[in-house]
Amino acid sequence: MGNNIRNVAVLGHMSSGKTTLVEGLYALANNTTMGSVDRKNTISDYTLEEQNRKSSIKSSIVPIKYNDYKINLIDIPGNDDFICEAIQTISVVKGAILVIDAKKGIEVETVKHYNMLKRKNIPTIIYVNKMDSEGVKFDEVFDNISSVLGKNAIPFCYPMGHNDNFDGFVNVVELKGRKYNGKTCDDCEIYPDKRAKVLELHNKMIEAVAESKEELMEKFFMGEELTRAEIKEGLREGVLNGSLIPVLVGSATKSIGLHTLLDMVIDYMPDPSDLKPIVGETLDGEVIERKTLDEEPFSAFIFKTNVDAYSGVTSIFKINSGVVHQNDEVYISDLNNTLTLSNIYTICGGKLTQVSELHAGDIGCVCKVDGLENSMTLSDPKSKVVYSKIEYPSSVYFKALKPKSKNDDDKLSSVLQKLKLEDPTLSIVRNRETKQLLLGTLSLGHLNYILERMKNSYKLEIDIEDYRVVYRETITKEAHGSGRYVKQSGGSGFYGVVEMKFEPAEENYFTEEVFGGAVPKNYFPAVEKGFNEACEKGLLKGYPVIGVHSVLLDGKYHAVDSNELSFKNASILAFKDAYMKAGPTILEPIIEMTITVESDLVGDILSDLNQRRAKIVGMEINSMGQQKLKALAPEIEILEYVNDLRSLTQGSGYFNRKFYGYEKVPAYLIDKIPENE
């Protein structure tokens, strides 16, 4: 298929019409009837959860063939709870359609998706959907696009209609009208009242093309007309390098503008020959490049995994180079193993079609191959390569899970591992101290979807509980303690006496300063073991004790009755004797947060963080002009922060978190710390 493949992400805010657009493009290319989100019969939204919500949850690949081209459309959820799907897709596509609801204009997720595309330098076409909505004024919508997304947006289409009724558009590139006849669009003359505006836009476009090359600029100033080929070549170059963002108009439900959109995807989105070589590494860590050509050695990258309770695991990959055939052997660097791909498939929504081969640039999948996960590289065993893994956001919203039926404990762990295969942003933590099974997600909405999925697909009913923050105890000053464990009643008994010192330190450790054999060396390990056991439960609130240096100073032993148990218990008693004299206090877990927000919201964010006892340790502006704050906050204060941050920023802010360490709880809060159960 060579250069006739396009991989195109379809992104935008929730309910902007992405799924309907993909459905319309598929119906147009295949001359079939469009499915409907409301009728729950679209190709993209094929899962029960999506149909119930009437909203996309998983990215869905919908390949279409149009004018001898294969276009792999990837419909991406517009809900930030499922940002993982956008991250995965953007890691492999080289073109995108950003869908905007004409009635609502630029929305929060529009900006987030656009910024993701911009960071990856992915050529983008903006499709202004729902132009047939009442009261839409395109000039206002376009001004909104220009002010928020950038001045490099340029109308490639301009709406037509009498009395503000949208009934078609003008292709500004070709100066050709397209009028909706009630079923399809036909070529037509440009309405007289639109001609002046369209010519103005066309001339601006020609000027932009002329500025891209010296010879074209000279021709332009000499008054010579640029040829259609020169115009298209200049526009294509501008789209590919990001200096131009085409803006198209239409209505996905009425299939207005879809032919033009497909034509422009072919004309202006990159084909494999436009792509820079993909950089990877050899097994020895040397940099290696692969071109997206059939002639190169085979390599592919798994960017998405689907798990079905009945059909198993489907690993979806993009072929970065070469050709793969049914029954080919491929090398998996993460497994250090060679596997035979008995069957290979293309995927369309939830439907798989077996094929004999797949070419460079295309998207395919394999099923039920044990061990495969997202971000793994497949390559020719004779020419091995490894590609960089996808970076995902950290889990920020944790809850404890408890099956309603005790018989489902083992099943729950297995199901969570399957769901994590699909969604690497999930964190699964078994907390031994609290005996809670914790699930980390990106938000409350994300968690609710996972619970819904477990119920629908795996018949698991789950209760959720708040997770218990795990505190620590420590000492603040030096103290001495005596331990005497003596039980003698005739025959062999117990005899162990120790004098010990305890002082603050960076970590728990044991040393001895015994002179003259008061305690034989063979009992030192027992004394250390007693110290370690004593640290498992502090006397203040019952939490583990950290940051203590214990020193064995002196002691006594009995030639007959002394043993390891005696000295271990004596050490525990010495610890307890000294503990309350050593200024014990409570330590709380501190989380390092990296918060990204728009600059005009920083004041509100700082005020909120101050109320959470957070310390700001860094501020910088990122490449998108947003403020990036680094803060250290007590974990107990940010359990619901992701939901609060969304409220404060109307959904535009986000953060990542990681454990930083422990710090002392302020004295006025210690009484509020619960006892460790």
- Sorted by sequence, the CB contacts under 8 Å of residue 383 that are 6+ apart come out as 297, 298, 299
User: Average of pLDDT values for 276-291?
Assistant: 93
Last residue of a domain, one of 547, 566, 583: 583
Q: What is the mean pLDDT of the chain?
A: 93
Assigned domain for 387 exists: no
pLDDT at residue 164, as a whole number: 66
Assess whether 266 and 286 both reside in one domain.
Answer: no
> Residue 614 is part of which domain span?
589-672
Assess whether 155 and 19 both reside in one domain.
Answer: yes
E-state strands within 54-189 = 60-66, 69-75, 95-101, 124-129, 153-155, 157-160, 168-171, 176-180, 185-188
Question: Scanning the structure block, which residue is given the tokens 């995965």?
Answer: 88
Assigned domain for 389 exists: no
Distance of CA 528 to the CA centre of its chain: 45
Distance from C-alpha of 244 to C-alpha of 650, rounded to nearest angstrom: 29
User: Average of pLDDT values for 543-559?
Assistant: 95
* Burial of residue 474 (number of CB atoms within 10 Å: 0-12, 13-18, 19+): buried
pLDDT at residue 498, as a whole number: 96
- Write out the two tokens for 248: 């198209």
Distance from C-alpha of 407 to C-alpha of 404, rounded to nearest angstrom: 9
Assess whether 477 and 552 both reside in one domain.
Answer: yes
pLDDT at residue 407, as a whole number: 84
- Write out the two tokens for 86: 């956008």
- Sorted by sequence, the CB contacts under 8 Å of residue 310 that are 6+ apart come out as none
Assigned domain for 371 exists: yes
At residue 310 the predicted structure's pLDDT band, cuts being 50, 70 and 90, is: confident
Amino acid at the residue 77: P
pLDDT at residue 162, as a whole number: 66
CATH number at residue 319: 2.40.30.10
Assess whether 33 and 155 both reside in one domain.
Answer: yes
Residue 672 has pLDDT above 90, yes or no: yes
Assess whether 594 and 574 both reside in one domain.
Answer: no
Distance from C-alpha of 19 to C-alpha of 10, rounded to nearest angstrom: 8
Lowest average pLDDT, out of 148-162, 218-232, 369-383, 593-607, goes to: 218-232
Assess whether 557 and 460 both reside in one domain.
Answer: no
At residue 410 the predicted structure's pLDDT band, cuts being 50, 70 and 90, is: confident
Question: Do 221 and 239 form a contact (C-beta atoms < 8 A)?
Answer: no
Question: Scanning the structure block, which residue is given the tokens 């302020």?
Answer: 666
CATH number at residue 243: 3.40.50.300
Residue 306's beta-bridge partner residues? 314
Residue 224 has pLDDT above 90, yes or no: no
Q: How many domains does the chain have?
A: 5
What confidence tens digit (pLDDT) does each residue in 174-209 have?
A: 999 999 888 888 889 999 989 999 999 998 898 888
Last residue of a domain, one of 465, 481, 515: 465
pLDDT at residue 163, as a whole number: 60
pLDDT at residue 211, as a whole number: 80
CATH number at residue 634: 3.30.70.240
Assess whether 125 and 195 both reside in one domain.
Answer: yes
Assigned domain for 28 exists: yes
3-state secondary structure of 301: strand
What confidence tens digit (pLDDT) does each residue in 420-467 have?
A: 999 999 999 999 889 999 999 999 999 999 999 999 999 999 999 999
Residue 8's beta-bridge partner residues? 73, 95
Assigned domain for 241 exists: yes
Assess whether 493 and 540 both reside in one domain.
Answer: yes
Distance of CA 309 to the CA centre of its chain: 23
CATH number at residue 449: 3.30.70.870
CATH number at residue 497: 3.30.230.10
Last residue of a domain, one of 236, 256, 274: 274
Assess whether 215 and 286 both reside in one domain.
Answer: no
At residue 165 the predicted structure's pLDDT band, cuts being 50, 70 and 90, is: confident
- Write out the two tokens for 449: 């979807």
Assess whether 137 and 261 both reside in one domain.
Answer: yes
The sign one gets for the Cα dihedral 311, 352, 424, 647 is negative
Assess whether 161 and 250 both reside in one domain.
Answer: yes
Using alpha carbons only, give the angle 499, 505, 508 rounded to the nearest 5 degrees.
70
What confidence tens digit (pLDDT) does each residue in 481-524 have?
A: 999 999 977 667 899 999 999 999 999 999 999 988 889 999 99
Show the 3-state SS of 468-492: CCCCEEECCCCEEEEEEEEECCCCC
Closest by alpha carbon to 438, among 469, 472, 405, 407?
A: 469
Assigned domain for 386 exists: no
Global pTM exceeds 0.85: yes
Using alpha carbons only, give the angle 222, 226, 232 rounded to the nearest 5 degrees.
150
Assigned domain for 388 exists: no
Distance from C-alpha of 610 to C-alpha of 634, rounded to nearest angstrom: 11
Question: Do 110 and 12 form a contact (C-beta atoms < 8 A)?
Answer: yes
What confidence tens digit (pLDDT) does each residue in 33-49 have?
A: 999 999 999 999 999 99
User: Average of pLDDT values for 397-407?
Assistant: 92
Assess whether 554 and 649 both reside in one domain.
Answer: no
Assigned domain for 188 exists: yes
